[in-house]
Amino acid sequence: MKKKFILEGLDCANCAAKIEREISELNGVDSASVNLMTTKLFIEGDEEKMPEITRIAEKIVNKYEPEVVFKKA
Amino acid sequence: MKKLIYRLGVSAALFVSALLIENESVKLILFIVSYIFAGGDVVKRAVRNISRGNVFDENFLMAIASIGAFLIGEAPEGVGVMLFYQVGEAFQSYAVGQSRKSIASLMDIRPDYANVKIGDELIKKDPDEVKPGDIIVVKAGEKVPLDGKVTEGTSMLDTSALTGESVPRKITVGDELLSGCINVNGVITAEVTKEFEESTVSKILDLVENASSKKSKSEQFITRFARYYTPVVVIIAAILAVLPPLVIKGATFSDWIYRALAFLVVSCPCALVISVPLSFFGGIGGASKKGILVKGSNYLEALSKTEIAVFDKTGTLTKGVFNVQEVHSIGMSEQELLELTAYAESYSNHPISLSLKRAYDNDIDNDKISDVEEISGHGVFAVVGGKKVLAGNDKLMDRNNISYSKVEQDGTVVYVAVDNVYAGYILISDEIKEDAADAISRLKQAGIRQVVMLTGDTKTAGESVARKLGVDRVYTELLPGDKVKIVEELIGEKSATGKLAFAGDGINDAPVLARADIGIAMGVLGSDAAIEAADIVIMTDEPSKIATAMNISQKTSKIANENIVFAIAVKVFILILSATGLATMWAAVFADVGVAIIAILNSFRALNVKNIK
């Protein structure tokens, strides 16, 4: 399944790349991509693991960009 | 953003006054206050991020470089590094903001409300809540909220937000009404045909919002580069600070630490990383101004490397509208022949039959027709007003042993026999689009090696169109399934880095659109299947827009590559100068911020497509 999130206030390209890489290496994630321009995060992965993935993804976003607001889209 | 600019202004003022003051201790205090204004938040973030396990981020590097400068007694450098680093950061977020704004204006096509007619009343509703079958009214100046069919009124429709076409289009009762257009004058009443989610405007917004989630090769390269660049530079800096003073005679720690700190200044990759996606985003934005929607920067980049362009003929290079060109009768008047044929074909909805009915342009009296029999792949038999009419291709004539003379002309020939005697033929052909030949010659100018045309038409018809357009290779008499096979063969013919693009009108060619490296669907206003299958969507039906898209993609890729080469070259150059002690920290910070600003300004050029045809 594919999920979409908004990373409000995301400004830094390098951080976006780090976030994208770390989330795509998570267990159960097939692919993850961060679009800096539309400030969107797409995660594709196992349906049953999604709640856990979402939780960790939010943590990762927070680690690199504490100012960014993680929202469900 | 504004707060940051004020802070930097105060910091800069304090910094300048510190430089002018003679008293050493006042000077130092002013430098420290100036530093806190400029970089307090950076230091704070650096500390916080380390506690979260995120070392080596740019906050940390800048904090070390600037505080290090203070510690070795180079306070002005310490403040300068932080001040200019922040200026660069501010410029970056300004650039990203600008770029987002340009896309936001594109998003202006989103309708806010729909006027739904219930009884005699007009009720404003959220477009989401309107259902197919509802009647909506669009007043002058309003956006069309949902796709529908006009039931009342005539007006001019501004489609520029969707197509880039500035000339308004006339619509009247019975016409299809597309959401996202603006009603220029007049009031239109329409019946809604699609839910908001399925309407053109939603499909397009969805496409634009989700564009560039697929990254181009150069973006992937630059993020991978950044991943190794920073740690490598930091490690070299650490070695520079410690090793030479221990090994080289006469080398001092303060000198080499200074060089190491200059290294750290250049270690931040952010500007480099942002200039590439910014270029592609600009290119995608620029293309959409021309009515060309690109689904990701990878496709925009790939398009610039196209070697083979494959076109479907009907509906892409030709108008897909068949017209009777010539009526050639034997033993009766032309009008009589046309009438008999139109009657015989009147039950069919094939484009050929429709063109006959259009050319006849009189009402068909169904009582006159009997015993209609469609002979698949051959034509039709019918009794019209007591006469036995056979209308179809040469095979039909052969099958019924009718002697006729074969016609070698472009287009489709309908042979007609009346009471088993040859009565003449009707020539029907499709028209070539005005800009088709120009499109192909421009694609060749842009570097495409081979232009191929695919068609289900006969050899004569297909080859004649190909000759007129300057197509290099043509495949004729294809069945729908053959197209995928041919595209696969052609993919084998291109070089390893080259790409193959296929352009079709989106009807029946979704598998081919998907199989090609770059699938281009054109003239798809209203066809969502094509919007979904294609990588690039051209909103109008002009093939010349493909050449435009190619020019935009080449310009964008060039800008992105310029940024990569320029930024990396300057960084490496400064690193070498710093290591050898030729560059001061001042030079390092100026060069670094300067490169960032130049690269970002350069990437803005991608958005400017005014002069691209």
pLDDT tens-digit readout, B20-31: 888 888 888 899
- Nearest CA-CA distance, residue B58 and chain A, Å: 9
Separation between Cα atoms, residue B458 and residue B466, nearest integer Å: 12
At B212, is the pLDDT very low, low, confident or very high (cuts 50, 70, 90)?
A: low
Contact between chains at B52 and A63 (C-beta distance less than 8 A): yes
Give mean pLDDT, residues B368-380. Answer: 84
Burial class from Cβ neighbours inside 10 Å (0-12, 13-18, 19+) for residue B373 reads exposed
- Are A13 and B48 within 8 A, CB to CB? no
Query: Is B312 among the residues known to form the active site?
Result: yes
Nearest CA among B357, B359, B349, B353 for reference residue B325: B359
Which residues in chain B have Cβ-Cβ distances shorter than 8 Å to A30? Answer: none
- Average pLDDT value for residue range B61-88: 88
B529 membership: H or E segment, kind and range: helix B528-533
Contact B90, B7 (CB under 8 A): no
Cβ contacts (< 8 Å) between B210 and chain A: which residues? 35, 38, 40, 42
Q: Are residues B139 and B151 in the same domain?
A: yes
CA B209, CA B29: separation in Å to the nearest integer?
Answer: 49
pLDDT at B165 over 80: no
- B58 has a chain A CB within 8 A of its CB: yes
The CATH number of the domain holding residue B534 is 3.40.50.1000
- What pLDDT, in 10s, does the model give residues B189-200? 999 998 888 888
CB-nearest to A42 from B52, B213, B273 is B213
Does residue B68 sit in the same domain as residue B120? no
Helix axes B217-247, B253-266, angle to 10 degrees: 180
Contact A37 B223 (CB under 8 A): no
CA R_g for chain A: 11
- pLDDT for position B326: 87
Of A36, A38, A63, the CB nearest to B209: A38
**Does the pLDDT of residue B526 top 60, yes or no?**
no
pLDDT at B491: 92
Domain count, chain A: 1
Residues B440, B314 share a domain? yes
* CA distance linking residue B442 with residue B86, whole number of Å: 45
Q: Give me the residue from B92, B99, B214 closest to A37, CB to CB.
A: B99
Q: Does B527 have pLDDT greater than 70?
A: no
Q: Which chain B residue's Cα is nearest to A38?
A: B209
Determine, for residues A36 and B277 on separate chains, whether the beta-carbon distance falls below 8 Å. yes
- Which one is predicted more confidently, B525 or B293? B293
Is residue B277 within 8 A of residue B94, CB to CB? The reply is no
Mean pLDDT of B360-382: 84
Residues of chain A with Cβ-Cβ distance to B211 below 8 Å are: 38
CA–CA distance, B97 with B200 (Å, rounded to integer): 27
Is the same domain home to B167 and B252? no
pLDDT reported for residue B455: 86
| CA–CA separation, B512 and B518 (whole Å) | 10
pLDDT at residue B478 tops 80: yes
Average pLDDT of chain B is: 86
| Ranges B131-145, B246-260, B376-390, B526-540: which has the least confidence | B526-540
Asked if residue B160 lies in contact with residue B123, where contact means CB atoms within 8 angstroms, the answer is: no
The answer to whether residues B518 and B502 touch, using CB atoms and an 8 Å cutoff, is: yes
What does the pLDDT read at residue B562?
94
Helix intervals (H) in B295-333: 297-303
* Per-residue model confidence (pLDDT) at position B525: 63
- Contact between B54 and A33 using a beta-carbon 8 Å cutoff: no
CB contact under 8 A, A36 and B96: yes
Instruction: Tell me the C-alpha distance between B32 and B409, whole Å.
Output: 88
Collapsing DSSP to helix, strand or coil, B269 comes out as: coil
Residue B107 has pLDDT above 70, yes or no: no
How is the beta sheet containing B292-294 ordered, strand by strand? B292-294, B536-538, B518-522, B499-504, B306-312, B450-454, B473-475
Separation of first and last alpha carbons in chain A: 14
**What is the C-alpha separation between B91 and B82, in angstroms, rounded?**
14
Q: What pLDDT was estimated at residue B104?
A: 67
pLDDT at B438: 93
Ranking B64-78, B156-170, B330-344, B435-449 by mean pLDDT, the lowest is B156-170
The answer to whether the Cβ–Cβ distance between B214 and A13 falls below 8 Å is no
Residue B586, classified by CB atoms within 10 Å of its CB into exposed (0-12), middle (13-18) or buried (19+), is: middle
Quote the CA–CA distance of A51 and B582 in Å, as a whole number.
55
Closest residue of chain A to B90, computed from CA coordinates: A11
Q: Is residue B38 part of a domain?
A: yes
- Identify which of B471, B613, B490 has the alpha carbon closest to the alpha carbon of residue B545: B613
> Is B44 in CB contact (< 8 Å) with chain A?
no
Calculate the dihedral angle through the C-alpha atoms of B534, B540, B544, B550, rounding to the nearest 10 degrees: -40
Tell whether B355 is covered by a domain.
yes
Cβ distance A11 to B96 less than 8 Å, yes or no, reads: yes
Band of pLDDT at residue B416, cut at 50, 70 and 90: very high
- B311-337 average pLDDT score: 86
Of B57, B100, B277, the CB nearest to A13: B277
pLDDT in tens, B450-469: 999 998 877 877 888 899 89
Question: Concatenated DSSP letters for B480-516?
Answer: HHHHHHHHHHHHHHS-SS-EEEEEE-SSS-HHHHHHS
What pLDDT does residue B213 have?
64
Do both B29 and B71 map to the same domain? yes
pLDDT of residue B241 exceeding 60, the answer is yes
**Same domain, yes or no, for B330 and B271?**
no
Q: pLDDT > 70: what percent of chain B? A: 97
A56 in contact with B, Cβ within 8 Å: no
- Main-chain phi, psi angles of B390, to 5 degrees: -115, 125
Q: Which pLDDT belongs to residue B93?
A: 83
Residues B571 and B560 in one domain: yes
Residue type, B489: E
pLDDT of residue A57: 92
Instruction: Assess contact for B348 and B374: CB atoms under 8 A.
Output: yes
Neighbours of B33 (CB within 10 A): 16
Q: Does A11 touch chain B (CB under 8 A)?
A: yes
Residues in chain B: 613
Cβ separation of A14 and B53 shorter than 8 Å?
Answer: no
- Kindly provide the ipTM of the predicted complex, given to two decimals: 0.83
Tell me, what CATH number does B353's domain have? Answer: 3.40.1110.10
Query: Is residue B560 very low, low, confident or very high in pLDDT (cuts 50, 70, 90)?
Result: very high
Strand partners, B597: none
Residue B422 has pLDDT above 80, yes or no: yes
Parallel, antiparallel or unpaired: strands A40-45 and A2-8 = antiparallel
B99 touches chain A (CB under 8 A): yes
Confidence check: pLDDT of B86 > 60: yes
- Number of A to B CB contacts under 8 A, please give it: 64
- Residue-wise pLDDT for B541-557, tens only, equals 889 999 999 999 999 99
Q: Which of B371, B399, B429 is the last residue of a domain?
A: B429
Residue type, B194: K
Instruction: Give kind and range of the element (H or E) at residue B101.
Output: helix B75-106
Q: How far is B300 from chain A (nearest CA, A)?
A: 16
One domain, residues B298 and B349: no
Residue B311: what pLDDT?
Answer: 92
Catalytic residue, chosen from B120, B134, B175, B312, is B312
Residue B430's beta-bridge partner residues? Answer: B322
Q: Give the Cα-Cα-Cα angle B532, B535, B540 (nearest 5 degrees).
A: 80
**Are residue B446 and residue B505 in the same domain, yes or no?**
yes
The CATH number assigned to the domain holding A58 equals: 3.30.70.100
Residues of A in contact with B214 (CB under 8 A): 33
Residue B45 and residue A17: Cβ atoms within 8 Å? no
End-to-end CA distance of chain B: 37
Question: In the structure, what pLDDT confidence band is assigned to residue B500 with cuts at 50, 70 and 90?
Answer: very high
**Which whole number is the average pLDDT over B168-186?**
87
Is the confidence at residue B473, as pLDDT, over 90? yes
State whether residue B103 sits within 8 Å of chain A by CB. yes
To probe the interface with B, which of A4, A10, A14 has the most B CB atoms within 10 Å? Answer: A14
- Residue B204, pLDDT above cutoff 80: no
Distance CA B184, CA B159 (A): 10
Cα dist. B157→B135, B162, B480 in Å? 18, 11, 35
Residues of A in contact with B278 (CB under 8 A): 37
Q: Please indicate, yes or no, if residue B546 is contained in any of the structural domains.
A: no
**What band does B369 get if pLDDT is binned at 50, 70 and 90?**
confident
In a domain, B582, yes or no: yes
Q: What is the CATH number of the domain that holds B154?
A: 2.70.150.10
pLDDT at B354: 84
Same domain as B92, residue B75:
yes
| Residues in chain B within 8 Å Cβ distance of A11 | 92-93, 96
> Directed axis angle between helix B585-604 and helix B75-106, to 10°?
10
Domain total for chain B? Answer: 4
Do B191 and B230 share a domain, yes or no? no
Range of the domain at A59: 2-72
Any domain includes B285 = no
- Chain A CB within 8 Å of residue B96 CB: yes
Same domain for B535 and B436?
A: yes
Residues 6+ apart with CB under 8 A from B517: B302, B306, B491, B499, B500, B501
Q: Look at residue B457 and give its three-state secondary structure.
A: coil
Query: Cβ of A31 under 8 Å from any chain B Cβ?
Result: no
Q: How many CB atoms lie within 10 A of CB B593?
A: 23
Domain hosting B221: range is 2-104+213-279+555-607
| pLDDT recorded at residue B189 | 92
Highest mean pLDDT among B344-353, B497-506, B547-556, B581-590: B547-556
Mean pLDDT by 10 residues, chain A (73 residues): 87 85 91 85 89 91 86 78
